[in-house]
A = this chain, B = another copy of it.
């Protein structure tokens, strides 16, 4: 490199960014980690916050707290708006220009509506605590609204008791299963509405659920979903989403609550770097996780598109973590003037998805696990990867409580503005 590697700027404190920062703990560099949130979020359990099983604090930890003992790291809570790769500066919303010798971009992805962004209003996705919080509110309010209108408008009540999840990847499957368990467990607390009217519909454009899993696990997941009362519709293409209605190539569905788990859109990193990117926004990177032509910029995690043996790596936590560790180690060597390691290699430990209590499918180290065993593996793996002993402890306690009592402990509706969301939300649409 032209100048010595002294200051590393990492944008984004998800699995990828945080792993890179930790890997640099003993390297002769200073690190500035910039994130628009103050917390690292354990996204794999976000759907449990959205379905009132866990509290936000249990799956999130302040970034400063994670790095409090890493003296060469400082955290800046700010939003990046642009990058000047010539001057080697990162521009932030608060007006700072942060210089870097090496830049690591790990800003993740948001959900994508394939150009139909007006669907977002009716079919929110699940990427941030705020998303989960809003979705939890929407799901819980649906039952309250049904209880209010059921007598004078049974059709509206049915609409409020119908939940549609679009996309049957791991997130969609977990979401559908969790909504099913939630909707049937809260029924005993209501007096007027009928639990039999609850419908949870999972829409998948492809031929099977969990397309990234082996056939056998897909069909097991399908069976588990059926046993939980989830209606699965494969080959179902969503053509339109509006207030209270989802239109598909298989007909209309009247539903007030729609969850989007169908597609993702990478962060605007490509624009910041003035690189050509596909519609998905992903930035293509080489074996060293750098975009072509940028000497000291790395793009990792869900923002990156990296082909391993011609196959694009999926946007999942293990890939992000391993990319972060790779870049951290590479930069540590460069800072010490050593020869950097070879290209990035992803070691695939497999995949897990839970459908509900005692139900999960796992494909790890070649082993195909189902049912209770898969479920235990799933739980153990997720607790293990949580950051912070406290969160591990409280998540396990919460799960134990939920398992023994069937009671979802976090059924809170907190209207953002008194009268605001409250009013709108309570007026049947």
Contacts and interface: CB of A to CB of B under 8 A. Distances in A.
A38 B129 contact: no
B77 A147 contact: yes
Interface stretch (A184-192, A302-310, A314-322): A184-192
Interface string A40-68: 00000000000000011110101011001
B38 A144 contact: yes
Contact of A65 (B74, B128, B189): B189
Instruction: Name the residue among A62, A96, A192 with the largest chain B CB count within 10 angstroms.
Output: A62
A99 interface: no
Given A57-B55, A74-B191, A191-B74, A37 B413 contact: yes
A39 interface: yes
Given A55-B55, A397-B394, A411 B38 contact: yes
A342 B411 CA distance: 39
Contacts of A397: 393-394, 397
The number of times this chain is found in the oligomer is 2
A56 B415 contact: no
A148 B412 contact: no
Interface in A61-102: 62, 64-65, 68, 74-79, 93-94, 96
Nearest to A413: B38
B148 A65 contact: no
A418 B77 CA distance: 14
A93 B410 CA distance: 26
B409 A57 contact: yes
B94 A427 contact: yes
A22 interface: no
A53 to B, nearest CB: 11
B413 A76 contact: no
Nearest to A71: B191
Contacts of A189: 62, 64-65, 68
Nearest to A410: B57
B129 A56 contact: no
B38 A130 contact: no
A38 B422 contact: no
A368 interface: no
Contacts of A407: 65, 390
Contacts of A130: 414-418
A147 B65 CA distance: 15
Contacts of A56: 55, 412, 414
A43 to B, nearest CB: 14
B148 A76 contact: yes
Closest 3 A-B residue pairs measured CB to CB? A64-B189, A57-B410, A77-B144
Given A39-B412, A55-B55, A76-B147, 17 more contacts: A38-B144, A38-B411, A39-B413, A56-B412, A57-B409, A62-B189, A65-B189, A65-B407, A77-B144, A77-B426, A128-B418, A130-B416, A130-B418, A390-B405, A390-B409, A394-B394, A397-B397
25 contacts: A36-B422, A37-B413, A37-B415, A38-B413, A55-B55, A55-B57, A57-B412, A62-B189, A64-B190, A68-B189, A77-B147, A77-B148, A77-B426, A79-B419, A79-B422, A79-B426, A93-B423, A94-B427, A128-B414, A129-B412, A130-B416, A390-B407, A390-B409, A393-B397, A394-B397
